[in-house]
């Protein structure tokens, strides 16, 4: 191996995710995570080994590189995989091609033109329905017929490591008839993953479930921050607004669908039978272990959730097919959140709303405090990885600290 990759690294030779990085002497550019290092793709291009216009590797987003198509992006990844394994390859004896991740600054990997968030975990939707509606009819009538979603705010999607301020808005206090304006007292995280599209469509075109994977470049970890008290007051009749658009956090490395191929699994049985445009063949879910840790200010972090992406009721192919079935056009770099990922066990619930059951079952922290919702000074850290037959492909982390309201 050209470079040492620590055992159990998220960024194994089987992964090689793409991102945008910079250092003191390197402007933002495309790179690939390899163990604790980043391979500088713009520097590799100077060796004249790529058969495309490599100026796209010197840009500060991956959009133009992704837009070249999977025939090129897949070949880049496969070539580098081979070169890293070959001690006599063009990478050998060239340490200047590599940068330590600890010495680099990561940037938003793509320019996100549009962002959609789905609501596709049946366990999460059921839990929320039980809390806020009739427990006997927790799911709304449309839930098992369509991948429910809403259009979110792309401008407030931020990178891991960037803190957020507690949002303010209107809240209706318990037993009150008139709302008050205040900082949210029920700030929450939502454990999600998100996929990024790699092809454009024209207005009026549709993408079938059979074609969808050709349009999906890769995935990131996603924290869809939510202000539950603001949301409860505002969501009728048009759904989330200020409770969601103040911030959403993503991890910096885009893991390609090719790297995730070994981890395909069957999803939950879908009953009743879905509409024909939502039918699909093969395994469309992915076995990706997910973890959420909460770190109080100045204290030790504590794992509070263990979940898995394989629990999703609606898969990515169905989400994209439904998104475009009305002719909605999509673009390279658009981002699509999965919706909160909850499992059947209480420790697999993907939000504080569920973990502390709307504040009735506070989480006990190692520092002696308790949590009903996220407090100022808390850092929420989400991690994810897939493992099978000794192969590990991970996403790194998305970490965000909560600051007091401005």
Catalytic residues: 124
Contact 89, 2 (CB under 8 A): yes
Per the CB < 8 A criterion, the answer to whether 322 and 297 are in contact is no
DSSP string, 189-234: -BEEEEEEE-S---TT----TTTHHHHEEEEEEEE--EEHHHHHHH
Do 382 and 397 touch, CB atoms closer than 8 A? yes
10 Å CB burial of residue 155 (0-12, 13-18, 19+) is exposed
Q: Report how far residue 181's alpha carbon sits from residue 25's, in angstroms, rounded to the nearest whole number.
A: 47
Please state, as a whole number, how many other Cβ atoms lie within 10 Å of the Cβ of residue 278. 21
Angstrom distance (rounded) from CA 391 to CA 373: 36
Q: How far is CA 14 from CA 11, 202, 309, 372, in A?
A: 8, 34, 19, 39
- Per DSSP, 58 falls in state G
Return the structure tokens found at 374.
């996220």
HSE at residue 252, side-chain half, CA atoms within 13 A, is 24
CA distance 338 to 283: 17
**221 contacts 397 by C-beta, under 8 angstroms:** yes
Question: Residue 324 belongs to what H/E stretch?
Answer: helix 316-324
CA angle 166, 168, 173 (to 5 degrees): 115
């Amino acid at each position: 191996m050209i470079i040492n990759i620590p055992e159990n690294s998220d960024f194994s030779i089987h992964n090689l995710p793409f991102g945008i990085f910079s250092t003191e002497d390197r402007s933002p550019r495309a790179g690939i995570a390899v163990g604790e290092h980043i391979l500088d793709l713009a520097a590799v291009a100077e060796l004249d080994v790529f058969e495309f216009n490599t100026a796209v590797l010197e840009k500060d987003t991956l959009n133009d590189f992704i837009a070249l198509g999977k025939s090129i992006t897949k070949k880049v990844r496969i070539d580098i995989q081979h070169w890293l394994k070959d001690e006599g390859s063009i990478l050998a004896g060239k340490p200047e091609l590599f940068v330590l991740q600890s010495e680099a600054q990561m940037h938003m990997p793509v320019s996100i033109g549009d962002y959609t968030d789905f609501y596709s975990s049946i366990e999460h939707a059921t839990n929320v329905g039980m809390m806020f509606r009739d427990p006997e009819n927790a799911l709304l009538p449309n839930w098992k017929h369509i991948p429910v979603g809403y259009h979110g705010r792309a401008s407030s999607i931020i990178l891991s490591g960037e803190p957020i301020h507690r949002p303010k808005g209107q809240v209706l206090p318990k037993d009150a008839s008139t709302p008050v304006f205040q900082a949210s007292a029920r700030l929450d995280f939502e454990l999600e993953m998100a996929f990024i599209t790699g092809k454009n469509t024209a207005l009026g075109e549709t993408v079938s479930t059979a074609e969808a994977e050709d349009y999906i470049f890769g995935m990131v970890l996603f924290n869809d921050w939510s202000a539950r008290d603001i949301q409860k007051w505002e969501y009728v009749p048009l759904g989330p607004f200020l409770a969601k658009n103040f911030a959403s956090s993503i991890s910096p490395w885009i893991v390609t669908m090719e790297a995730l191929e070994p981890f395909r699994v069957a999803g939950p049985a879908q009953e009743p039978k879905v509409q024909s445009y939502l039918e699909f063949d093969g395994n469309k879910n992915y076995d990706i272990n997910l973890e959420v840790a909460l770190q109080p200010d100045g204290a030790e972090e504590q794992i509070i959730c263990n979940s898995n992406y394989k629990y999703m009721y609606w898969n990515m192919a169905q989400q994209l097919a439904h998104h475009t079935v009305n002719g909605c056009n999509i673009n390279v770099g658009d981002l699509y959140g999965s919706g909160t990922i909850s499992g059947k066990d209480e420790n697999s619930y993907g939000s504080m709303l569920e973990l502390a059951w709307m504040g009735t079952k506070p989480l006990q922290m190692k520092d002696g405090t308790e949590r009903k919702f996220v407090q100022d000074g808390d850092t929420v850290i989400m991690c994810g990885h897939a493992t099978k037959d000794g192969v590990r492909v991970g996403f790194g982390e998305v970490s965000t600290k909560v600051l007091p309201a401005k």
